[in-house]
Structure 1
Amino acid sequence: MTQVVRNFLRPRPLRAGATLGVISPASTPKRDLVERGLAELEAAGYQIKLGRYAFGGGPLYYAGTLAERLEDLHAAFADDTIDGIICTRGGWGSAELLAHLDADLIRANPKAFIGYSDHTSLHTWLQNEIGLMSFYAPMVAADFARDGGVDRSSWKNTFEGASEWTLDAGDGLRILQPGVAEGNLLGGCISILTAGLGTPYAPQLGESILFLEDIGTKPYQWDRMLLHLRYSSRLEDVRGIVFGDMAQCVPQEEQDLLERAILHGLRGFPGPVAIGLRSGHVDGANRTLPLGASVRLDLTNSRNPSLSFLEPAVSV
């Protein structure tokens, strides 16, 4: 099978000793959770540089005004002492920044951007405008502050530049539709992705392996949003799809209904489909996913479905 990939720009590694810029592009985080998460990152060997508005305190539920949150994001990219950027939490607010981002500044200072949920819009912008690989990965207050909130293996493989590594059934993967496919891993929070449709910031999925997850989303809402993606022609070239673990969407007794709703929403989709990957909104250890990386989704073995990363996610 011919491998179809886009060549994304890879940022520098984030090994022990690297400096992380900590920002809050969306909602206000709880100070105690940020401090707990920062202590965990420092224990892992990282240096920390807080954004001016990282602890929040802005209008409504925002961590700052639009100008303040934008200032922190631009400053983190421009600061040569910062090796990578990690968000405190999601919530809502990242999409407000999109029309004001300085593409020339960010293009001249590519570095790892880490976050998930609401930050899906920023990931999509970085992919569309810069061609920069970014990271759907644990955040400071949301994950590093929790006991067992971070999957250390996928974090290390990603940010230290493992050439090849694999997520499999042990990471939650189960088969909904068998098959095998290759492409760039793209996606994120489905409600944020679909909200971008019809705007200049819509996801450009191409021949990708699409990862989709969310929180508090009912089966009929999954069905509706998948139909929206289909009607917008975003799934026409997608090679395969991986869904999150869904524990934050429905209780266990509704899992079968959710899976049937997903397959209904995807009816006619020819590629492999998996579910259960524990990344994003999860209770346990959050897996790190390098968005833009070349991957292989192999759902031919029911006992060992796998998502394999075929290249380093950082420059090595």
Structure 2
Amino acid sequence: MIDRRATLQAIAAMGAAGAALLTAPALATLQPTRKPPRLKAGDTVGLIEPAGFTDDVYDLEPVKETIRAMGLVPKAGATLGKKYGYLAGEDRARAADVNAMYADKDVKAVFAVRGGWGCARMLPYLDFATIRANPKLLIGYSDITALHMAFAAHAGFTTIHGPNASSAWGKASWEPFRALAFDGATPTYANPQSVEDRLVPRQWRTRTIKGGKAQGRLLGGNLTVLTALMGTPYLPDFTGAILFIEDTNEAEYRIDRMLTQLSLGGVLGKLKGVVFGQCTECVNTGAGYGNFTLSEVLQQHLEPLGIPAFEGAMFGHIANQFSLPVGAMVEVDADAATIRVLEPVVS
């Protein structure tokens, strides 16, 4: 796994470059005003690798079969299966794949095959005028957060933070995605009931940090990727938003550091609510290292905000996760630990 923390200085430098490449109108923060078309059986959808590469090109066959099992027709981007260091092609080439998919009238949505690291590197080379003119669902998670945030800031339509095309796509992932993207439904997300043989189940538990309900536009994704965009023109305005965040392989003190960055940068103070999903393998393993627990870190940062907040929702680096509409209006109920979508995200 790529060490994303080592890339922070490089991203800051790219932010300045990206600002120079964007036109003045594109620099304005855009709220979603249009809806991408809903998917239907037989639609062609693009497959891109905007970050890491697939080790074995034969591993792409099950990915394509997954798309076909959805009733869709996969169209591979030019860099699919390519390798450039730890990336699936050079920055301009990967960006060209994204631009081409949004320019192609036959392509109805775009799936990221996988995450890794690299989406932020290509942000300066995205053609936001073309992307903005051709609203299509973008689907993926992890490093794809950089694209979700850039689209929220500059494209003006909703995207879906959900499984990558190479994910397992079990029933708990597929059905919510189909409801959003195919049916135009407005689901309410709640963790499933545990099937453990215990008097008190431990699996998929949630914890209310601050009770209450709140409504706002849903923005967020991977915490590490999101905080790495601070100070660049690719982070949207979080005023009145519901923030959702998750992470993987980050020790508690690093989650603390990133939440501190969001606080000092003014993001947390603008929010209406917060949902923290799954933090996979987020435990410091250093011998004799005294530390706060993850829940204590979240309590310290989120409870003083005085807004509804809860942890434990099923999104993040897990086998089955929610498909969350980035940029759409939602209502969170921190006592019930639910996220309710308030508007269709497709036309």
* Structure 2 length-normalised TM: 0.81
Q: Which residue of 2 aligns with 1:52?
A: 78
Q: Which residue of 2 aligns with 1:314?
A: 346
> 8 Å contact 1:161–1:313 — kept in the other structure?
no
> 8 Å contact 2:209–2:303 — kept in the other structure?
no
Instruction: Quote the Cα distance in structure 2 between the aligned partners of 1:19 and 1:147.
Output: 19
> 8 Å contact 2:302–2:309 — kept in the other structure?
no
1:257 maps to amino acid: T
Instruction: Quote the Cα distance in structure 2 between the aligned partners of 1:297 and 1:162.
Output: 20
Tell me the number of residue pairs that the alignment of Structure 1 and Structure 2 aligns.
Answer: 301
1:188 aligns with 2:213: no
Instruction: Quote the Cα distance in structure 1 between the aligned partners of 2:34 and 2:145.
Output: 18
1:41 maps to amino acid: I
Instruction: Quote the Cα distance in structure 1 between the aligned partners of 2:337 and 2:235.
Output: 30
Structure of greater Rg? 2
Instruction: Quote the Cα distance in structure 2 between the aligned partners of 1:139 and 1:248.
Output: 20
1:157 aligns with 2:179: yes
Q: Which residue of 1 aligns with 2:62?
A: 36
Alignment of 1:243-262 (within 5 A): 243-250=276-283, 257-262=293-298
Alignment of 1:57-136 (within 5 A): 57=83, 59-136=84-161
> 8 Å contact 1:8–1:293 — kept in the other structure?
no
Larger CA deviation: 166-175 vs 120-129: 166-175
Aligned residue for 1:287, secondary structure, equals: coil
Relative to structure 1, the CA distance from residue 243 to residue 293 in structure 2 (aligned partners, 3 Å threshold; closer, same or farther) is same
Instruction: Quote the Cα distance in structure 1 between the aligned partners of 2:281 and 2:68.
Output: 29
Relative to structure 1, the CA distance from residue 131 to residue 29 in structure 2 (aligned partners, 3 Å threshold; closer, same or farther) is same
1:289 to 324, 332, 335: 324
Aligned residue for 1:277, secondary structure, equals: coil
Larger CA deviation: 110-119 vs 26-35: 26-35
Structure 1 stretches lacking a partner, 5+ long: 1-5
Q: Which residue of 2 aligns with 1:148?
A: 170
Instruction: Quote the Cα distance in structure 2 between the aligned partners of 1:267 and 1:165.
Output: 27
1:43 maps to amino acid: A
Relative to structure 1, the CA distance from residue 122 to residue 166 in structure 2 (aligned partners, 3 Å threshold; closer, same or farther) is same
- Post-superposition Cα deviations, 1:182-238, rounded to whole Å, max 9, x if no partner, equal 001110111111111122223421111110001101111111111110100011220
Tell me the percent identity.
33
2:243 to 204, 210, 215: 210
Instruction: Quote the Cα distance in structure 1 between the aligned partners of 2:248 and 2:58.
Output: 23
1:23 maps to amino acid: I
Q: Which residue of 1 aligns with 2:6?
A: none
Q: Which residue of 2 aligns with 1:279?
A: 315
Instruction: Quote the Cα distance in structure 2 between the aligned partners of 1:163 and 1:287.
Output: 14
Structure 2 stretches lacking a partner, 5+ long: 1-30, 194-203, 285-289
Superposition deviation, residue 67 in structure 1:
2.1
2:52 to 8, 12, 27: 27
Relative to structure 1, the CA distance from residue 38 to residue 195 in structure 2 (aligned partners, 3 Å threshold; closer, same or farther) is same
Q: Which residue of 2 aligns with 1:3?
A: none
Relative to structure 1, the CA distance from residue 215 to residue 149 in structure 2 (aligned partners, 3 Å threshold; closer, same or farther) is farther
